[in-house]
Amino acid sequence: MSNLRIIPRLDIKGPNLIKGIHLEGLRVMGDPQEFALRYYEAGADELVYMDIVASLYGRNNLSDIIRRTADRVFIPITVGGGIRSVDDARHILRSGADKVAINTAAIGRPELITEVSRRFGSQAMVLSIEAKQVGPGKWEAYTDNGRERTGLDVLEWVKRGVELGAGEVLLTSVDREGTRKGFDIDLVRQVSEAVPVPVIASGGMGTLEHFVQAAREGRADAVSMADVLHYQRLTIPDIRAAALAAGLAVRKT
């Protein structure tokens, strides 16, 4: 069994690290470089960067930030937002990212998943899903930071995405994101059980117990968090110690 990964998430607007609630109401947190280096030195297993205004510009604008980060941070980096083609993916990967996370363009043209997977390997193709609950045990996939409906059932879409070549899933609960109320455990568990690839749970972490629940009850392979780290409510060593105390398999630093 692979180790459970601890993955700080950095949402970027222009040059700034930002944080919102339900992916909206954004607040500037500071220089993403400083936060990325802090998390790397604290023992993060990976980093996720999301360009949250990429749709406004028509492309991902994080290449310079990623290039500077990759010079100082030596853990896997996933980059998402505005990646619409194999060329976009190549540009981001050449800038220093290890994986690309694709949501909107994959929904618009699912063949892109296969194209990226074949060109760079399935491990580099992360299917990003923004999920909103629309009924008991039912979630719809959204785009544009949880603002645009797609009509796609999350469980049906994640299965198709993995069949097309996605090697990992970044699953964000828009309902829980930024609330510190805990992950949507039912969502995480159902997606984790639906596909044979690793699932990263994102959206809602507020306590150490939430991390343990995502892994134990949600069966997530990795847990992503932002608010609790950005505001220094918790540290990565705190999270790792809690996971070890709960008997979860995490990397020992």
Residue 11 catalytic? yes
3-state secondary structure 96-164: CCCEEEECHHHHHCCHHHHHHHHHHCHHHEEEEEEEEEEECCEEEEEECCCCEEEEEEHHHHHHHHHHC
Closest CA to 6 of 60, 106, 76: 76
Q: Which residues contact 58 (CB under 8 A, 6 or more apart)?
A: 82, 84
- CB contact at 8 A, 55 and 49: no
DSSP state of 2: P
In the set 11, 46, 177, 227, the catalytic residue is 11
- Helix H or strand E segment including 26: strand 24-30
Residue 184 catalytic? no
Both structure tokens of 166: 């996605």
Closest CA to 187 of 143, 154, 222, 147: 154
Alpha-carbon distance of 78 to 74, in angstroms, equals 12
In the set 45, 88, 98, 130, the catalytic residue is 130
Alpha-carbon distance of 94 to 152, in angstroms, equals 32
**Tokens 């847990």, residue located:** 223
**Tokens 């995480």, residue located:** 188
- The DSSP line for 186-240 is HHHHHHHHH-SS-EEEES---SHHHHHHHHHTS--SEEEESHHHHTTSS-HHHHH
Q: Which residues are catalytic?
A: 11, 130
